[in-house]
A and B are shown apart, each in its own frame.
Chain A
Amino acid sequence: MVEFRIRRFNGDETYWESFEVPTRRGMTVLEGLYYIKENIDSSLTFRASCRMGICGSCAVKINGRPKLACETQIASVGNKIILEPLDNFTVLKDLVTEFEGFFAKHKAVKPYLIRSDVSYEEPKELIQTPSELRNYYIFTLCIKCGACYSVCPAAATRDDCLGPAAMMAAYRFCADSRDRGEDARISIASKDLAVWRCHLAMECSEVCPKKAEPAKAIQLLRRKTAVNAIKSILRW
């Protein structure tokens, strides 16, 4: 039996509650949560969907570090599992936090290919070599779980800070050889709520469940923004 100690929120007050969960080898923290919901307390609320680490819904703080509940083995955590909702997000209920702001920031960096020469009437094949793909492939792995945002020290103290996931998405498209919208994204990245809030804590890369290296993407985006700024000065 393993103790699940969960920080709960019912809309008015925050409180801790413990549950004893029978476990077997191979069981994940998410399975433990489902056991509690199905057998002990059906009011326990958490997000989950794919159960296989691809949707990004089940990110929670497990013993102080944000992880995907579906990818964390109970055996690897220990006999006492402390679960809390992600930091830097407003808690709605129990382990569920609001994500609208996070998704809005992601949307703000225009995370799609921008080209003026493609149309549905005349589709055009966009060729990309394997080496061009390798330049940005790792940054495409983001599942928008929010773990990086929850550990970012800038996001902790500044609400409008874009956060690692959005900036990594911005760089992913800037580095994509098929994209022509770099100017639009760089103008967003050069605001003080974007890359300039990163001071290399690098915690985002340490907690990313997909090992997508957001900290590296932000530094490369910063370099691109600075080079762009210098070029714009020289053009005056």
Chain B
Amino acid sequence: MEESAKSVMEPLAWIFQLISGLILTLLITIHFYLTHMTSHTALHYNEVVARISTPYYKFFYIVLLFFVSFHAFNGLRAIILDTNFGARNRNSVNAMCYTAFIFIFLYGTFLVIIL
């Protein structure tokens, strides 16, 4: 089981990196459009809080955060594993990157929920 778990992690991480990348091109475009390309006031405090208070935006932000944190920290993991340091410390690098992904996702979700 452990051998199979090792050998499926990399292919699954790769597939999900590509899927998250694909989804992010859409979500980030929407996010950027709404915040930087609609009106002069889109980034004022009141409007930001008004957006983040609605359930639809909360859901959108949580989904965006999930994909972006996975994509970012899996990408970082791939970069570190490209080095000899990463080769020697493979398990630690994997653990730290996925921990960072979960931490960033949970912290961001916490922010979205309380605001």
Contacts and interface: CB of A to CB of B under 8 A. Distances in A.
Complex A–B touching at CB under 8 A: yes
Contacts of B15: 226, 230
Contacts of B81: 158, 192, 196-197
B91 to A, nearest CB: 11
B83 interface: yes
Interface string B12-24: 1011000000000
A189 to B, nearest CB: 10
Interface in A166-216: 187, 190-193, 196-197, 199
A187 B7 contact: yes
Interface in A132-164: 153-154, 157-161
Interface residues of B: mostly helix, strand, loop or mixed? helix
Contacts of B4: 232
Nearest to A197: B82
Nearest to A155: B82
A160 B15 CA distance: 24
13 contacts: A157-B82, A158-B83, A158-B84, A159-B84, A159-B87, A160-B84, A187-B7, A190-B11, A192-B81, A193-B87, A226-B11, A226-B15, A232-B7
Interface residues of B, number: 16
Contact of A199 (B11, B78, B87, B90): B78
Contacts of B84: 157-160
A57 interface: no
A229 interface: yes
A93 interface: no
Given A157-B82, A158-B82, A226-B15, A190 B10 contact: yes
B86 interface: yes
A222 interface: yes
A190 to B, nearest CB: 5
Given A196-B78, A197-B81, A199-B78, A229 B8 contact: yes
Contacts of A158: 81-84, 86-87
Contacts of B86: 158
A228 B7 CA distance: 10
Given A197-B81, A199-B78, A229-B7, 16 more contacts: A154-B82, A157-B82, A157-B84, A158-B81, A158-B82, A159-B87, A160-B84, A190-B10, A191-B10, A192-B10, A226-B11, A226-B15, A230-B15, A232-B7, A232-B8, A233-B8
A225 interface: yes
Residue of A190, A192, A228 with most partner-chain B CB within 10 A: A192
